[in-house]
Amino acid sequence: MSLTRRDFITGAIGASIGCVPALAACSPTSKTSAESETNSSETAATQGTSYSFEIPPQPIEESEIAETFEADVVVVGGGTAGLCTAVSAQQSGCSVILVSASKAPVSRGGSNHAAYSRVMEENGVPRYDVDRFFRKEFLVGGYTADQRKWFRFYNNSEEAMNWALDVIEPYGGRGILEGSPEGIDETDPMFTPVASHCFVDDEITSPSIGQSILVNALAKTLENEGGSIYWQNIGRQLVRGGVANGTEGRVEAVIAEREDGSYAKYAGKKAVVLATGDFSKDPEMMEKYCPWAIPTLVDVDVIDYDIGLFNGSLMPGDGHKMGLWIGAAWQKNVPNAAMIGGNGVNNFCNQPLLGHTGLMVNIRGERYSNEFACGALSNRNALMQTDGRTFMIWGQNYLEEGGPWYTYPRSHGDAPVSNEQTQEKWDKFVENGAWFKCDTLEELCEKLELPKETLDTIARYNELCEKGVDEDFHKDAQYMIPIKDAPYYGFENSVRFLTVLGGLNTDQYMRVCNAKDEPIPGLYNVGTMVGDFFSSVYTFMAEGSNYGACCLTFGYLTGKYIAENE
Ligand SMILES: Cc1cc2nc3c(=O)[nH]c(=O)nc-3n(C[C@H](O)[C@H](O)[C@H](O)COP(=O)(O)OP(=O)(O)OC[C@H]3O[C@@H](n4cnc5c(N)ncnc54)[C@H](O)[C@@H]3O)c2cc1C
């Protein structure tokens, strides 16, 4: 197949490429990418790629730099990924500088997947079946996930998790295991292994919210052991081959904008590591790389580099852009995966992390799926319905027949909650207006603004439940509970956005690569921005895979790798 320049740019070879830098990288002479852009007769618009983030800004001149700092390793980003890399590199003998746009360490949630650890050993939890679990994860993404990375994670996550426990323990932290759905056979496609680790201390005792314990301990460790952290420094451009936004040679430094508007250069003799989180705050990047998740985004306008627990959009993709401008390629798999959840996960489920398993209908009142699916997958399917709108319906008899009921989040081994507690929770959602509770199904449909055909759907669902066989969508008989006793409950599902995953073309050692999969000398990335780890949708079939794999395990390994190989 012969490729024209346009074919190459628009991705006819099947890879999505950061266009201008990728071409500039092929040019025989060393130029900045901005020069390449100016000299080219084709603008981004004539190339058919009109996204402004693809056009490198004017390079920051050496004369504009107020101060220069130097270390073996410079890490850009103060979240879990950046901090793990920084501490690991330092403990492996490197001098380290971490620069972050945030004012302090950033974290959200707190589920960290690891295949095994001393916490699992202490709790008598076995290592899970790697083959079964990983194949399931790969299948969800149509086998587009990079298996080199997944198995490197699996093979090293125990060591990395035990190291993280060593980091938090001097600061009063400890590890616990998060509860996984119970009563699901290991052979079932929706089975989730017990492997999510959470950090707790005297103040934070609940699972799944303690990531701050890890990031704060990492930041203190870094500084106590001689590393430097510069907060409120926004990385703006990389220096490659001696020039800002250069497209040839080694990546030597990052130029950051400080609080007073001045520029500082942070030079990494061995490596510069990008760890700037996701790109959900950049509407153009979302349009190009993850359009399917756009309806779930809120608050894309205000950039807050310290943003914590928030279901909207997070970071503006600065690291991704800096990488593209100096010749990095985008990951091969587009659209990117996103992490989404829905009401079913938190508000009403008879298994934690599984969505609602009662009847789900779309805006026309049609049943559209086998409802027994992990929350993220079921919500991805919900987004395929007209206007992405779906509704959940059940009856009072579910309280007795639908349990056991659990809280979310919960620790491994926690007993189910009582039916009374569950009823209280239901009533609270009704009281605050999130759910409807009605004496008749007609009234419920009216409140949900669903058409009268919904009543036929409910009748058909009940008929199948009575038969004990779901002839329409083949849901497991144990979840076929008729909607028979009043009062009846219902609410409109809302799909919540957590983060968009992936970005730059990355090899298994976290080296950022060009379109030919060649590592760009001196440049690494870790965390959410690592390309081609996740594909399709974040499944939640192993809770905390992003923290556990891309941030913790790869952060830990990358620090060591740089120390040993650069
Ligand atoms: C409500 C919620 C709960 C979540 N819970 C979990 C969970 O339990 N488990 C899980 O695996 N995932 C969870 N996630 C996803 C989570 O956001 C990521 O897993 C995680 O934050 C990724 O860490 P990171 O270090 O890659 O990026 P981030 O945590 O986003 O850190 C990025 C850092 O880079 C800095 N930065 C950005 N741009 C620049 C720049 N130009 N220059 C310098 N610094 C910059 C930021 O200020 C920040 O310090 C959750 C997300 C949400 C919204």
Q: What are the tens digits of pLDDT across the range 229-257?
A: 999 999 999 999 999 999 999 999 999 99
Q: How confident is the model at residue 5 (pLDDT cuts 50, 70, 90)?
A: very low
Q: What's the gap in Å between 99 CA and the centre of ligand 1? A: 15
Q: Is 113 in the pocket of ligand 1 (CB under 6 A)?
A: no
Q: How confident is the model at residue 343 (pLDDT cuts 50, 70, 90)?
A: low
- In ligand 1, the atom with minimum distance to the C-alpha of 80 is 25
Q: Is 544 in the pocket of ligand 1 (CB under 6 A)?
A: yes
**Which residue has better confidence, 528 or 189?**
528
**Which residue has better confidence, 425 or 482?**
482
Asked whether 16 and 334 are in contact (CB, 8 A), the reply is: yes
Tokens of 80: 């879990």
Q: Whose CA is nearest to atom 13 of ligand 1?
A: 109
Q: What's the gap in Å between 183 CA and the centre of ligand 1? A: 32
Pocket test residue of 97, 546, 552, 556 for ligand 1, highest count of atoms within 8 A of CB? 546
Position 403 scores a pLDDT of 83
Rounded average pLDDT over 472-484: 94
| Mean per-residue pLDDT over the chain, rounded | 88
Q: How confident is the model at residue 353 (pLDDT cuts 50, 70, 90)?
A: low
Q: Is 102 in the pocket of ligand 1 (CB under 6 A)?
A: yes
Cα-flanking dihedrals φ and ψ of residue 360, to 5°?
-120, 135
Share of the chain above pLDDT 90, in %: 73
Q: What's the gap in Å between 14 CA and the centre of ligand 1? A: 29
Pocket test residue of 84, 238, 528 for ligand 1, highest count of atoms within 8 A of CB? 528
Query: Which of the 8 DSSP states describes residue 11?
Result: T
3-state secondary structure (DSSP) of residue 177:
strand
Q: What's the gap in Å between 463 CA and the centre of ligand 1? A: 47
**Which sequence spans correspond to the domains of the chain?**
107-222, 339-497
Distance CA 55, CA 49 (A): 10
Q: How confident is the model at residue 192 (pLDDT cuts 50, 70, 90)?
A: confident
> Around Cβ 267, how many Cβ atoms within 10 Å?
17
ipTM above 0.85, yes or no: yes
pLDDT score of 183 more than 80 = no
Q: How confident is the model at residue 14 (pLDDT cuts 50, 70, 90)?
A: very low
The segment with the largest mean pLDDT, out of 207-211, 317-321, 380-384, is: 317-321
Position 350 scores a pLDDT of 53
- In ligand 1, the atom with minimum distance to the C-alpha of 110 is 8
CA-based nearest residue to 331, from 379, 272, 288: 288
Q: Is 499 in the pocket of ligand 1 (CB under 6 A)?
A: yes
- In ligand 1, the atom with minimum distance to the C-alpha of 256 is 42
Q: What is the 3-state secondary structure of 482-536?
A: CCCCCCEEEEECCEEEEEECCCECECCCCEEECCCCCEEEEEEECHHHECCCCCC
Rounded average pLDDT over 192-215: 95
Q: What's the gap in Å between 447 CA and the centre of ligand 1? A: 38
pLDDT score of 169 more than 80 = yes
Tokens of 213: 């314990």
pLDDT score of 368 more than 70 = yes
Pocket test residue of 204, 276, 299 for ligand 1, highest count of atoms within 8 A of CB? 276
Q: What's the gap in Å between 107 CA and the centre of ligand 1? A: 6
Largest CA distance in the chain: 79
Q: Is 309 in the pocket of ligand 1 (CB under 6 A)?
A: yes
Q: What's the gap in Å between 49 CA and the centre of ligand 1? A: 28
Distances (CA, A) of 30 to 34, 35, 324, 514: 12, 10, 16, 16
Distance CA 84, CA 106 (A): 12
Rounded average pLDDT over 59-88: 98
Q: What's the gap in Å between 42 CA and the centre of ligand 1? A: 36
Tokens of 233: 């420094």
Rounded average pLDDT over 37-62: 70
pLDDT digits (tens, 9 = 90+) for 97-133: 999 999 999 999 999 999 999 999 999 999 888 887 8
Position 363 scores a pLDDT of 98
Q: Is 342 in the pocket of ligand 1 (CB under 6 A)?
A: no
Rounded average pLDDT over 506-535: 98
Q: Is 527 in the pocket of ligand 1 (CB under 6 A)?
A: yes
CA-based nearest residue to 24, from 243, 265, 235, 253: 243
Q: Please report how many Cα atoms fall inside a 13 Å half-sphere around the Cα of residue 377, on the Cβ side.
A: 21
Q: Is 76 in the pocket of ligand 1 (CB under 6 A)?
A: yes
CATH architecture for segment(s) 339-497? Alpha-Beta Complex (3.90)
Q: Is 498 in the pocket of ligand 1 (CB under 6 A)?
A: yes
Q: What's the gap in Å between 58 CA and the centre of ligand 1? A: 28
Q: Is 526 in the pocket of ligand 1 (CB under 6 A)?
A: no
Kindly give the interhelix angle for 147-168 and 130-140, rounded to the nearest 10 degrees: 120
